[in-house]
């Protein structure tokens, strides 16, 4: 997706990420997010909202060593959660290594499969990588393309990989699709309120990543995470036609005892 969803030139790409994720002094003393929900549209549409989430990682770049990244499949149907058949993912900023140890642990779960085709053209995962590469130090990736599964099965995967402060969970999802501006605003506001109250979405009309969001919400309940909205808009606010818009939101989840800015 380099050159379409985000810049293909490495220098321009890094500069773009830096502009979208400025240092935030208020975040320096705050607890690191345990999980993020981040949009995955072309950056001209959703980059600023995604940047609001990734800015929160900058003060914690040296701590986060593993990123568990889940996004819905858009092109290749798959049963369960699909791991790649590759050792790394390449972007113009270099290669992100896949965490082989985590892959071996997930192989024991019946809902986890290996499917390279599910990853080959999947933008929901790829567009997050340059952000992670630019704001974190050295980290390994556990990329999961989410297909036909259940929130409980996703929560089980997250539990296996939960770890400590070295592990970040990123859920890649947009909100409503192709409604008019006013309808999208109404529905997206309601969807965000559901997430903030820990209520499962259960509908792809609310978010294309409803399944991984719901899996995270189940895990968040068990671990007592506190959600917070970081940013929200739709494509009509950025670069799109207001007659047919796509909604975007960035949220963070912080563990008990962690303070938010």
**259: in domain:** no
**2: in domain:** no
**196: in domain:** yes
What pLDDT does residue 30 have?
77
What pLDDT does residue 112 have?
98
Rounded to a whole number of angstroms, the distance between the first and last alpha carbons of the chain is 33
Q: What is the CATH number of the domain that holds 130?
A: 3.40.830.10
Query: pLDDT tens digits, the chain, 261 residues: what are they?
Result: 999 999 999 999 999 999 999 986 544 557 899 999 999 999 999 999 999 999 999 999 999 999 999 999 999 999 999 999 999 999 999 999 999 999 999 999 999 999 999 999 999 999 999 999 999 999 999 999 999 999 999 999 999 999 999 999 999 999 999 999 999 999 999 999 999 999 999 899 999 999 999 999 999 999 999 999 999 999 999 998 999 999 999 999 999 976 555
What pLDDT does residue 48 have?
98
Torsion of CA 111, 102, 258, 221, to 10 degrees: 10
H helical segments located in 5-54: 10-20, 43-54
> What is the Cα–Cα distance from 70 to 72, expressed in whole angstroms?
7
* Domain carrying residue 246: 31-254
| Residues 35 and 225: beta-carbon distance below 8 Å | yes
| Residues 33 and 253: beta-carbon distance below 8 Å | yes
Residue 190 CA, chain-centre distance (Å), reads: 20
**202: in domain:** yes
Residue 206's CB is within 10 A of a number of other CB atoms, namely 22
* Backbone dihedral region for residue 39 (phi beyond 0: left; psi -120 to 50: alpha; all else: beta): beta
What pLDDT does residue 29 have?
59
What pLDDT does residue 83 have?
98
**14: in domain:** no
**5: in domain:** no
Number of domains in the chain: 1
Measured at the CA of 23, the angle between CA 19 and CA 26, to 5 degrees, comes to 140
**79: in domain:** yes
Q: What is the pTM of this model?
A: 0.96
**151: in domain:** yes
What pLDDT does residue 259 have?
55
């Amino acid at each position: 997706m380099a050159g379409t969803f985000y810049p293909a030139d490495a220098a321009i790409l890094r500069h773009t990420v830096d502009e979208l994720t400025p240092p935030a002094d208020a975040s320096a003393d705050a607890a690191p997010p345990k999980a993020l929900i981040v949009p995955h549209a072309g950056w001209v549409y959703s980059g600023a909202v995604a940047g609001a989430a990734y800015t929160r990682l900058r003060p914690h770049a040296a701590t986060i060593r593993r990123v568990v990244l889940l996004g819905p499949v858009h092109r290749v149907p798959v049963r369960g959660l699909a791991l790649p058949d590759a050792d790394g993912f390449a972007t113009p900023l270099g290669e992100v290594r896949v965490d082989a140890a985590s892959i071996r642990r997930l192989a024991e779960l019946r809902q986890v499969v290996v499917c390279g085709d599910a990853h080959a053209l999947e933008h929901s995962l790829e567009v997050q990588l340059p952000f992670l590469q630019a704001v974190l130090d050295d980290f390994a990736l556990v990329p999961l393309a989410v297909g036909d599964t259940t929130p409980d099965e996703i929560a089980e995967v997250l539990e296996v990989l939960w770890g400590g402060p070295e592990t970040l969970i990123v859920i890649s999802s947009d909100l409503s699709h192709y409604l008019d501006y006013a309808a999208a605003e109404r529905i997206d506001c309601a969807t965000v309120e559901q997430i903030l109250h820990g209520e499962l979405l259960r509908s792809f009309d609310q978010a294309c990543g409803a399944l991984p969001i719901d899996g995270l919400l189940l895990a968040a309940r068990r671990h007592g995470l506190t959600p917070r909205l970081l940013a929200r808009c739709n494509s009509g606010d950025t670069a799109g036609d207001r007659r047919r818009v796509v909604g975007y939101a960035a949220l963070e989840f912080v563990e008990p005892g962690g303070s938010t800015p």
